[in-house]
Amino acid sequence: MTVYAEVGLGPGVHQAVQAVARAGFRVKFRTGGTRADAFPDETRLTEGLMSAMRLRVPFKLTAGLHHAVRHTGPGTGFEHHGFLNVLAAVAAAHDGAGEEAVASVLACREPQSVARRCTPRRRAAARAWFTSFGTCSIDEPLADLSALRSVGRD
């Protein structure tokens, strides 16, 4: 059985990921919710992602990832990470990018720029770490990928 333990993003994230790794679990990071403070900024998310990767702990993300690319929620004004941004950022980290470069990928709002970073090789490397994400909708993520002409590619 694969078990995930949720780790808060912020001070102490590295130590928390270490504890999860010692227990033999995988990590879950929350990336959204009903309040603005439930959406971590790109610096905090980068710290969590890179801690997990440095400690060789696969992770998943939950909440707030309804769209492929970073955007501001029209109804709330909350900053949402894009699931494709996360995939591209994890691939960049896997390729040796530092925290500043990874955070800039998470912050990118240009759909084609984010999509170009997700080559088949880079997607495969990132998927070893970024195992899944939770979303309330299947239609929105698929519509975004279709708009980027990513659905059906290798």
Question: Quick one: pLDDT at residue 150?
Answer: 56
**pLDDT of res. 152:** 45
Of 15, 10, 2, 56, which is closest to residue 29 (Cα–Cα)? 10
Q: What is the mean pLDDT of each run of 10 residues along the chain (154 residues)?
A: 94 96 96 90 96 96 88 90 94 95 96 87 89 79 72 46
Q: Count other C-beta atoms under 10 Å from residue 149's C-beta.
A: 10
42-57 pLDDT, tens digit per residue, is 999 999 999 999 999 9
62 found inside a domain? yes
Distance of CA 125 to the CA centre of its chain: 14
Domain count, the chain: 1
DSSP secondary structure, 92-129, as one string: HHHTT--HHHHHHHHH---HHHHHHT--HHHHHHHHTT
- 152, part of any domain: no
Residue 116 lies in a domain: yes
Q: Is residue 10 part of a domain?
A: yes
Q: Within a domain: residue 21?
A: yes
The answer to whether position 154 is within a domain reads no
Domain that includes residue 78, residue range: 4-146
Q: What is the reported pLDDT for 61?
A: 95
- pLDDT score for 27: 97
Please answer whether residues 64 and 38 qualify as being in contact, where contact means their C-beta atoms are separated by less than 8 angstroms. Answer: yes
Q: How many residues does the chain have?
A: 154
Q: Where are the alpha helices (DSSP H) in the chain?
A: 13-22, 42-54, 83-94, 99-107, 111-116, 120-127, 139-147
- The answer to whether position 63 is within a domain reads yes
The pTM is what?
Answer: 0.88
The answer to whether 118 touches 69, Cβ cutoff 8 Å, is no
